[in-house]
Amino acid sequence: MLRETLSQALKDAMKAKDARRTATLRLILAALKDRDIAARTDGADRTGIPETDILAMLQTMVRQRRESITAYEQGGRLDLVEQEKEEIAIIEAFLPQQLSEAEVEAATRAAIAEVGAQGIKDMGKAMAVLKAKYVGQMDFAKAAAVLKGLLT
């Protein structure tokens, strides 16, 4: 289970005195704990959020860091750019292999066929299929762009 893998990775990073990895894993586990607490207040069971939600959370963290890289590059803060890139590499190590552009397009075409999408108004249905099948494996912003291109 991903939860145990993250905890063990934190212990290993602490033993190895790897400061960047330790800090990044602590951020991940803190975000996970916050989501678990929010899920409990929403009436969910006490076991925490499901694995698919953890993968989605990790993808969001990667996307946030990529946005930060863009802002830091514009501001000339190359030291922070390097830090964000290191964090992305650490986080991506816990995500499944990302689909290539060709695989994203093929999956998008399959989703369109599955829901019988005719136009842009059916984009939400196709995205729901993609999100159900490929959580953690594709960047849904890029998939939405491909989907929009195919439906228009």
CA distance 72 to 142: 22
The pLDDT tens digits of the residues spanning 18-56 come to: 999 999 999 999 999 999 888 887 665 667 788 888 988
CA distance 41 to 61: 23
Task: Specify whether the CB–CB gap between 91 and 99 falls below 8 A.
Answer: no
| C-alpha of 57 from chain center | 5
Q: DSSP letter for 152, please.
A: -
CATH number at residue 132: 1.10.10.410
Q: Where in the sequence is the domain holding 143, given as residue range(s)?
A: 101-151
83 in the same domain as 121: no
Domain boundary among 92, 114, 131: 92
- At 138 the pLDDT is 83
- At 44 the pLDDT is 57
- At 134 the pLDDT is 85
CA distance 70 to 127: 26
142 in the same domain as 81: no
CATH number at residue 54: 1.10.1510.10
- At 45 the pLDDT is 60
73 in the same domain as 28: yes
- At 51 the pLDDT is 87
- At 47 the pLDDT is 73
C-alpha torsion 16→20→22→27, nearest 10: -170
Is the pTM value of this prediction over 0.75?
yes
Low-confidence ranges of the chain (pLDDT < 50): none
Domain count, the chain: 2
